[in-house]
Amino acid sequence: MQWAIAARLNHPWFTSSNGLMSLPGSTPAHDADQRVIQTREKARMEAAPVLIERREGYRVVTLNRPRHLNAFTEAMHQHLKRALAEAEDDGDCRALLLTGAGRAFCAGQDLHERVDKDGKAIVLGSALDTYYNPLVRRLRALPFPVVAAVNGIAAGAGANIALGCDIVFAARSASFVQAFAKIGLIPDCGGTWLLPRLIGPARARPLAFTAEPLSADKAEAWGLIWKALDDAELMPQAHALCARFTAAPSVALALIKRVLDQSWSNDLDTQLELERDSQHEASLSPDYDEGVHAFLQKRPAVFTGRRAM
């Protein structure tokens, strides 16, 4: 059957000289119209700084400035803010996958926006308050797992945005660079908070001081990310994990995310009390009742992700 379809599609009736599929009776003008439509669609996709793909139960958000290694601009920040807000408002969204288009995840800030009309470097501070800090806070506060699929270089703010996600996959060709010192800055986007907690100060300080790249394999070995994967396996495994989360007890996952984040600043007594209160909240969810009964009945649980009415 497959060879028959292929043979038919390769028949002169179905294929024009430019490779576009043509139906019997199609004209050069029709083919030209198709090329214009395809060109416009490609241009539209390339012009959008952030792409959103809705999958069943989760969303894929792609940073989309591949010619500039997906470096951040104000427009990208605005589109990304809107994409995250829409995902949070979508009651059917139970996970989010963040990745980059082309050969990079994100190269950090586009420095063309850091020079004023007189050619002087812009003094920083307000940009962090306006864009980067709210972005990091939103990623940490989303009530579902955020999975980063780091498909290439993640530098500067791009590295720390990735590390701010709940679970980080990286292609083996990818690398993480705290590039800030190369231009006389300090790590931001939570980098000075995340790095010592994830890999310890003995490793965080050299990464920040030297701005040397860290390979995906070493990042996994150090505990900076969850998994380094062969490049061809990156997106399939990231999608598979998000699909798995769509069938998970969403209320419990949101609570797990919250209590783990708060544990870094809590003492043991405070954390025990938080666990008690969060466990009470989780046990009110219909998913808890379903999980217990499914276990006792020796069947797979069917979680809805609904909160108690």
CATH of the domain at 269: 1.10.12
Residues 55 and 121 in one domain: yes
Residues 195 and 271 in one domain: no
In a domain, 301, yes or no: no
In a domain, 302, yes or no: no
Residue 198 to residue 177: CA distance in whole angstroms = 15
Residues 128 and 255 in one domain: no
Specify the CATH number for the domain of residue 163: 3.90.226.10
Residues 61 and 193 in one domain: yes
- Where in the sequence is the domain holding 38, given as residue range(s)? 2-44
In a domain, 304, yes or no: no
Residues 164 and 204 in one domain: yes
**What pLDDT band is residue 27 in, cutting at 50, 70 and 90?**
low
pLDDT top residue among 57 and 2: 57
Residues 20 and 77 in one domain: no
Amino acid identity of residue 282, one-letter, is A
Residues 68 and 199 in one domain: yes
In a domain, 226, yes or no: yes
Q: Considering only 32-36, 37-41, 251-255, which range has the smallest mean pLDDT?
A: 37-41
Q: Are 281 and 255 in contact (CB under 8 A)?
A: yes
Q: Are 139 and 164 in contact (CB under 8 A)?
A: yes
In a domain, 145, yes or no: yes
Residues 200 and 280 in one domain: no
Structure tokens, 83: 């994409």
Place of tokens 């989780």: 282
Residue 39 has pLDDT above 50, yes or no: no
In a domain, 124, yes or no: yes
pTM for the complete prediction? 0.82
Q: pLDDT tens across 82-124, in order?
A: 999 999 999 999 999 999 999 999 999 887 766 667 666 656 6
- In whole angstroms, what separates CA 24 from the centre of its chain? 44
Residues 154 and 73 in one domain: yes
In a domain, 100, yes or no: yes
In a domain, 307, yes or no: no
Residues 31 and 64 in one domain: no
Residues 107 and 19 in one domain: no
> In total, how many domains does the chain have?
3
Residues 207 and 274 in one domain: no
Buried b (16+ CB within 10 A) or exposed e, 158-175: bbbbbbbbbbbbbbebbb
Residue 283 has pLDDT above 90, yes or no: yes
